[in-house]
Amino acid sequence: MTLALGCIADDYTGASDLANTLTRQGLRTVQTIGVPSDDLKLPEVDAVVVSLKSRSIEAGEAVAKSRDAEKWLRGRGARHVLFKICSTFDSTDAGNIGPVMDALRADCGEKIVLVTPAFPETARTVYQGNLFVGLVPLNESPLKDHPLNPMHDSNLVRVLSRQSKAGVGLVNLATLTRGADAVRTRLAELAGQGMGAAIIDAVFDPDLETIGAVAAEHRLSVGASGLGLGLARALVKSGKVKPASGAAAGRAVEGLAACLAGSCSQATLQQIANAEAVMPVLHLDPDRIVAGTEEARRAVAWAVERIRSGPVLIASSATPEEVAALQSRHGRAKAGHAIEQAMADIAEGLTNAGVRRLIVAGGETSGAVVDRLRIPGFLVGEEIAAGVPVLRAVGAKDGEMLLALKSGNFGGPQFFSDALGLMH
Shortest distance, position 423 Cβ to ligand ADP, whole Å: 20
d(CA 113, CA 83) in angstroms, rounded, equals: 11
Binding pattern to ligand ADP, positions 344-383, x when CB under 6 A? ------------------xxxx------------------
Binding of residue 411 to ligand ADP (CB under 6 A): no
Distance between start and end Cα atoms, the chain: 27
d(CA 83, CA 222) in angstroms, rounded, equals: 5
Tell me, what DSSP letter sits at residue 261?
E
Q: Which span (58-66, 113-121, 244-252, 262-270) binds ligand ADP, by CB under 6 A?
A: 262-270
Tell me, what DSSP letter sits at residue 144?
G
- Contacts with 270 (C-beta within 8 Å, 6 or more apart), sequence order: 413
Q: Which span (144-152, 191-199, 212-220, 311-319) binds ligand ADP, by CB under 6 A?
A: 311-319
- Looking at 195, 264, 312, 375, which residue binds ligand ADP (CB under 6 A)? 264
Q: Which span (113-121, 141-149, 224-232, 321-329) binds ligand ADP, by CB under 6 A?
A: 321-329
Binding of residue 387 to ligand ADP (CB under 6 A): no
d(CA 311, CA 313) in angstroms, rounded, equals: 7
Binding of residue 190 to ligand ADP (CB under 6 A): no
Instruction: For Cα atoms 226, 227, 230, give the angle at the middle one, nearest 5 degrees.
Output: 95
Binding pattern to ligand ADP, positions 268-307, x when CB under 6 A? ------------------x---------------------
- Calculate the alpha carbon distances from 269 to 324, 389, 412, 415 in Å: 16, 20, 12, 11
d(CA 68, CA 63) in angstroms, rounded, equals: 9
Binding of residue 314 to ligand ADP (CB under 6 A): no
Closest by CA position to 269, among listed 316, 236, 302: 316
Shortest distance, position 286 Cβ to ligand ADP, whole Å: 4
- Looking at 354, 408, 417, 422, which residue binds ligand ADP (CB under 6 A)? 408
Interface with ligand ADP by CB under 6 A: which residues? 262-265, 286, 316-318, 322-323, 326, 335-336, 339-340, 362-365, 407-408
